Amino acid sequence: MVPEHVTKLARLGARVEVETGLGVQSGRLDEAYAAAGAIVNPERATLIGSADVILQVRKPSLDEVAMMRSGTVLACYLDPFQSPELIKYLASRGVSAISMELIPRTTRAQKMDALSSQASLAGYVAVVLAAEQSDKIFPMMMTPAGTIMPAKVFVIGAGVAGLQAIATAKRLGAKVDAYDSRSVVEEQVRSLGARFVKIDVGETGQTKDGYAKALTEEQIQLQRESMKKVCADSDVVITAAQVFGRRAPILVTTEMLDAMRPGSVVVDLAVESGGNVEGVVPDQIMDRRGVKIVGIANLAGRVPAHASQVYSANTTALIEEFWDRDAKRLVLRLDDEIIRGCLVTHEGKIVNEKLAASFS
């Protein structure tokens, strides 16, 4: 939450309390929150135990859930499919938990789509990190000593993060290739100035929310064989392929890494869900036979000022959409398509059907 959005919520009639030091890492001091109308409180347990609505980024610990009152609304990244114990405990405590990852990708919910806003930042940071780790410059240069050819960047996965990575690499002057199992994104890739790598793996597609569908093992093997050639010719490879609710597919194998030139860089944007690169280690930059493998998690967090700005806008939009201005409180309208999509637990039950079925 950033101060300008504290002001918005205060105008709605909400009593906003923030934890001491909330915005320090993003360049926002406690004084700014107080000036915006928030109460700055150093007691985390008191804040959690007294709140009607709790907004945070990462999922809470079980100890923190134990502090929450029945009927509290919690909105954050819950990683619901990988957190069965947490989800069950939230339900048992009577907490109404909203998973920000499950906000529907509809026009009306676009302003609340935290997954997309953070992914866009992560795609940008991935390219900046790659440029920092590379032993080459990205743009073509004409110099008295000769012509420096542009770096070759290969982006695997053209979702929100991948498209931003393509755009950023092009702005830096690189020659960009991109691949996605969804042929429907070819036009978007080409509109950004990149070449779309075509690999025939048979029938593919995307979910109603725009996520790539999981491929069969045979399709993945066909992908790898074709991508190996492109990787071998690339100076930078950025992977951004994820299947929501499942482990990220391994797309860059050790065999593909062996084919790459020393000095090449691979950035794995899917490291938090298992990684697209074989052998990637979370929060480490590894050197494998001269090829650097970057597995830094939470890349959006490396630009905290803007990551906070957009996440704050997303959560504020969620509150505004379901705020009862007469009663001055948040009302979860269970018949609303947005709430149906993102509400995970409510009134002692797991209300998301997919989660309920997988945890039973």
Strand, helix or coil at 146?
strand
The catalytic position among 56, 96, 116, 181 is: 116
Asked if 110 is an active-site residue, the reply is yes
Asked if 113 is an active-site residue, the reply is yes
Distance CA 256, CA 248 (A): 17
Length of the chain in terms of residues written: 360
> What is the identity of the amino acid at 301?
G
Asked if 211 is an active-site residue, the reply is yes
Helix residue ranges, H only, the chain: 3-12, 30-35, 44-50, 62-67, 84-92, 114-133, 160-171, 186-191, 217-232, 254-258, 304-321, 337-342, 353-359
- Write 26-32 long-range contacts (CB < 8 A, 24+): 26/2, 26/304, 26/305, 26/307, 26/308, 26/309, 27/304, 27/305, 28/2, 28/3, 28/308, 32/3
Distance CA 340, CA 345 (A): 11
Asked if 105 is an active-site residue, the reply is yes
Contact by Cβ (8 Å): 159, 240: yes
The catalytic position among 211, 302, 336, 340 is: 211
Q: Give Rg (Cα) of the chain.
A: 22
The catalytic position among 33, 96, 113, 133 is: 113
Contact by Cβ (8 Å): 75, 318: yes
The catalytic position among 26, 50, 92, 105 is: 105
Catalytic residue numbers read 105, 110, 113, 116, 211
